[in-house]
Structure 1
Amino acid sequence: MLPSPEFPCDGIGHNPGFRLGQDQVVRKGDAFRDLVVVFGNVLVEGHVCGDLSVTLGDVRIASGASVEGTLVVVGGKATIEPGASVGQELVLVGGTLDAPADFRPGREQIVVGVPLLGTGLRQSVPYITRGLLLGRLIVPDIGWVWGVVAVLFFVQLLLNLLFPRATAASATIIAERPLSTFMAGVLVLVLTGPVVALLAVTVIGIAVLPVLFGGLLIAWIVGKVAVNRWIGTRLFEQDDMESRVESTRSFVIGFVVITITYMIPLLGVVVWGLSGVLGLGAATLAFVRGYRRENPPAVRAPRETPPVPPPPVPPSPFEAAALGATPALAEGAGAGDADLSMHRSTLGDTYTMPPPAFAGAVPPAAHASDFSLDPRALLAYPRASFGERAAAFALDVLLVGMLTAMSSLRDPSDYFVQVLVVYHVAFWFWKATTLGGIICQLRVVRVDGAPLRFVDVLVRGLVGVFSIATFGLGALWILRDPERQSWHDKVSGTVVVRVPKHYPLP
């Protein structure tokens, strides 16, 4: 349909338009090529040469006006007066249409959703325009917002009463280390995106995602409660952190303060973000501290060493003279000579002094028969370092890569991770180590000294995928853990030790 000569699309009076949170009126004699209005109403008395899109607002096309392109209305009401026209499609999403019975758009009329959906969307428009767009979370003159605030208050109050120790531990961490707690929250948020992306590409990871999101949500809510308690204790000191009455008082005071800041433009969004990150970091650090307290590191039994016999005492010059030694020999014996042989003429026997033990002497090489096959004996050996474990893993990866490359699989790279996991699980269960571990003299042993079970090695292998998928953070945990345990070691209850050369395989 060509535009009417009265409203030419090319020439003076032709304007494109965009409005956010404002109403728009196209006067008679005006022309717009395209017009987009969000959170506002539109009245068309003139001419729209292109498309007209109205989101969460009403549109009315007066008699004699026209929209030559497509009319799209989302969450609003479209009113078409007699004599108005729409040149192409009419798309209505979650809204209502008021038009004459003989009205027909130029092409198709598409209606998606029900008017109730549009009504719900329209009710959120004042909150968006006078709340979120101004940087505040609470608009005081909107009634349903206070209903949401009341629900959040009772949920957080219930958590504070049911789990006083958890919230108190998080609040204590904020008071002790506020900057470290905030940085921990930032680290959790930064790592969440890459972890979710890596887990989403694996079948096992997809099953873990709901648990991950649920844990983050719980940590966020508990952290919010802890922030409220911390603010309350800063304003009014709390003597007993375990007291439910005092903790409730601190929580209510902090909640009121936070709620007031949410009403202030721009400051409300800033406080919401900072308090959320701080609370998330506090909940995470409190969980780590509680886990360490409930699962203390295993105490390594001291290695028993055979008692060292005392060095032989050389005879005095008088004893040497009585035994028939020469003065020079007696003098040499007093100086600790290496070899001294004396004959007792009175007893008729020979006394020979043993050679002294030198600090630099090399002990004889140990043989396989000198070691015990009891897994508990492995706990006495030192924990393997990160470099030793990384070298063993690199050898295993190289070996599995060569095997998969020589296999008859169509695309070996698609099965590399699965083959690597099966390889590790099988060797751990069979020999408590891998081929790379044998070369680097490493063994896997349970922290209680019991033999490895299949469920232990299976859990260790599956969690190992997660440890590496998180940019190797689970493996790098060895560098800071006192027992040099990675994430998969902690979950499976195992440690990796370095054994002496020629240590037998089970």
Structure 2
Amino acid sequence: MRCGNCGTLNPEEASFCAKCGTALASNQYSSSTSTVPVEAQAGAVADAWVPSTSELASLGQRAGSWIIDWVLQAIPYIGLIPFFINCVLYRRGSTIGLSIASARIIRENGDVSGFYHTAVRQMAAILSFIPLGLGYWWAFWDPHRQTWHDKIMHTYVVRNTPELESRKGTSSKGAVVTFWAALAVALVLVTLVSALVLAAMSAFLGTGLF
């Protein structure tokens, strides 16, 4: 730091000129300024805000909101209950609807349709549904009342009897292979969709939309 009186260059930390003893204004000001915590300079720190009892949500409000949130989140999973029930019924060529209607799925060889055969038949039902449900309407004029997915899987829907109820279901090898192949494809698709959803959520979070 240069002395304003004699022009001597002094170290930056010097408070007085080494040659003439003149006080160096900048450091003199710095040394006279005490280091005081910001809180002390600004005055007393304000207390943290605490809501009054009247402002707090009641326990009833909190419990009600909790119940509503969990019920809404559980709705998608409720549909899994009939799905698992159907998976059990598939073993004997039946579904919830067929059980209520007292009907059963039979293969063309006379065996009761087993799990894999019934499951693949249910998958094939998508093909009957796509063209405005034409595959289902087909049963109205078909001599054997078969839908398209019945014809694909070589099955018939017959009236249930105690004798049929006592039989174990069987499945063709083709149905077994098709089931596992379809399951593998479904898992790949679910993984891809999940990755896309997570990527989209990350993008939204990055832009502050959440």
Higher relative contact order (CA 8 A, sep 6+): 2
TM-score (norm: length of structure 1): 0.17
TM-score (norm: length of structure 2): 0.37
